[in-house]
Each structure stands twice: as C-alpha cells, then as structure tokens.
Structure 1
Amino acid sequence: MYDALQHAGAIFFLECHYRLLKNITQNSITKLYEDKAKKNGILAWPLELKNPVSSLTHKKMFEYFHTDAENFLFLQMVKADILIIVNTDSIHKEIMLPWIQCALTQDCIFPIGAQSTGCRFDKKPQYRYSGCHSYDTSALNIVLGLKFKQDSSHYTYSGSVNYFEIVPQSKAVALLRELEQNSTTEGRLLPFES
C-alpha cells in the first residue's frame, strides 16, 4: 500500500473479499474522494459492531505509541479493509510511516499476550479490552486517533450510501472460473455457488 501510494495521487484500497456494488459508478467514487477523503487525506469505514479502539487493542500496543488506552475508550474503531488514502507529506509522515514501523516491530504489532481469538464482548463496560487484538487494524486506529486527536469524524465514513458487498470465497472462486472461461472459450457459463 505504501509503495502504491508513493506512485499515485491517491489509492483506493479494498481487501480481496470486498466488491463494489453494481450501482456504484466512477462518479460516485470520485465524489466520495472529493467530498470526504481529499481534505484530511484518508477515509476509512467503521466496524459494524461499533467497538471502541480500546476493546480490540492490546495495552502494550498503546505503550509502543506512548499513549494510554484511556484516550481511546470512546473512539470507534475503523476497518483497515477499505481505505481511501491521499498522497500527502502529512499522510506519509503521520499515518503511513508509524503504521508501517509498528507492523515491522514485533513488540508493537504482536505484543506478548496478544491473540485474535477468544473475544469476550460480554465484559462491562464495553470499552474494556475484550482479549482480542486486531494487529494492523489496531495500529492504524491508534495512529489515526493520535493524528486527529481522537476525533474520528475527520477520517470515518458516516454517510448512508452502501458502496460494498462482501463476497464469500466460494462465490469469488466461481466468479474467477467464469472470467477464465469467458476469456478462453465460448462455452456456457458456470453457475454461481451461493
């Protein structure tokens, strides 16, 4: 992602299991970029569960960034799966660089005791650490929180338009087979598996 950003004015990053909905046009993405991403340099989508950063981030990652989990108790976590990032000096220095440095430092990205399973969301209050660490997503959220002083409105998509769908692996494989068949033969299409 960092390399791509250095070679482009901006990047629109989607993890491989996301697809744009059929009604989403180039104009709607351009408008999203112009209206939301361009001003602050980054746009991310919130987690559906509305977890605060503190609930999915190991305390040692906060220590790595010289901050306290209490600063993130009420900051809603965003996904690292869908991002629009603009190529600016500020984004490089204050977001991408610390995010990558953390990813390359085991004590930051994978602190002792961190795990991604066994989440306990029944803990009260909800902002307490759930026992699940979100690794690169947690690092991104801390970096964003620090840069924007815990004000997620500067980088979180809050509109009502749904742009994406999640495609299960079985459907993605069927789509790939269909595309491969279309490019090599004039045979009948393979059906989608739902």
Structure 2
Amino acid sequence: MTHMLEIRWHGRGGHGLVSASNLLAEMAVKKGLYAQSIPIFGAERRGAPTRVFTRISDKPIRTRSSVKNPDIVIITDRHLLNIINPLEGLKKGGYVIINVDELTEAERSRLQDFKVIPVNAVEIALKADLKVGGIPLVNIPLLGVLVKLLDFIDIDVAEEVLKERWSGEILEKNIKALKYAVEVVEIA
C-alpha cells in the first residue's frame, strides 16, 4: 500500500454503513494495516441520509477529519444522487460502488468520470436471506464488493472478522451474502 486509502460511504440510517465500515477497518487491522472508521450522523432517524468514513494505511493515521477526497465512494441508495452529492471530491478515476440493479442513462452520464461498479445488493441480500424486519441488509454485499476490489483483504480474513462479530444463523447469512457478492460482481 503506497498511500492512505480513503472511502466514503453514503446511505440511509438503518442500512448498516457503520457496521460495514467497522468490519472493513477490522479486516485491514488483521492484515497488519492501520485503519479507522468514523461515522457522521446526528439525531437523524432511520432512513435519513448518513455518511461514514473509512481510512486504511500502512502508516499510522493521524487525521481524524471527514474524508473530503475519497478513492472510493459507496452508495447504498441511488436516490441519494439526487438528494445530496455523494460524488463531491471523489478523485477522477475513483471507484463508485452503487447499489442498483441497472444504471439509468442519466446515472451513466453523471458517473462517466469514475470507475463504476454497479451491484444489486438487495438481490444478493435476499438470496442470502439477510434481512431485518423483512428489509434486505445491503451492507454486507457491498462489503463483499470491497473485499473483491481491495487486493490486500482476502475472503479468509473477511470471514474471520465476521465470525468474531456473529454466530449461528446470522453468521451463516452474512458469510453467504459476502461470498455471493465476491462471486457475482464484476470489476473491470
């Protein structure tokens, strides 16, 4: 790793962004790297737009501020493209991982300066039966895409971290969603 990797997650309260960012940071630490996960939210209610930041580096991370110029942006809800600007500051040629079944022409046009990885995280969550109150959890499928994209984190470490967090049926569903995302998502 030659520079600090900065990731900005955009979603809504209840999408599990804080958990996904924390898990990614734990995976990086298990690989001998430095990492931090910083959630930004106030008194928002479930469903309100939220942001979470993840930094990973081979050197100690001194900054504690929000991520202004991320290498990767993860968007759990495509409608956020029209509500906020999740692409703000994203480095040209940076990655956008977006939870969609298919991009619209308008989205393609707006995302043309970036490397876009569309992923139907809802479908992946449903196939793994990863739901809370009947609502599919998209955080672990999106985390699976990151595991595939980031060459310094492997599936074994990802599974190990999930096993430290959960057990039983919940663990099985999370591992299934993670592995399925790694398997089906194409990264150009």
State TM-score, norm by structure 1.
Answer: 0.27
Normalized per residue, which structure has more helix?
1
Greater Cα radius of gyration, structure 1 or 2: 1
State TM-score, norm by structure 2.
Answer: 0.27
Pick 1 or 2: higher relative contact order, CA cutoff 8 A, min separation 6. 1
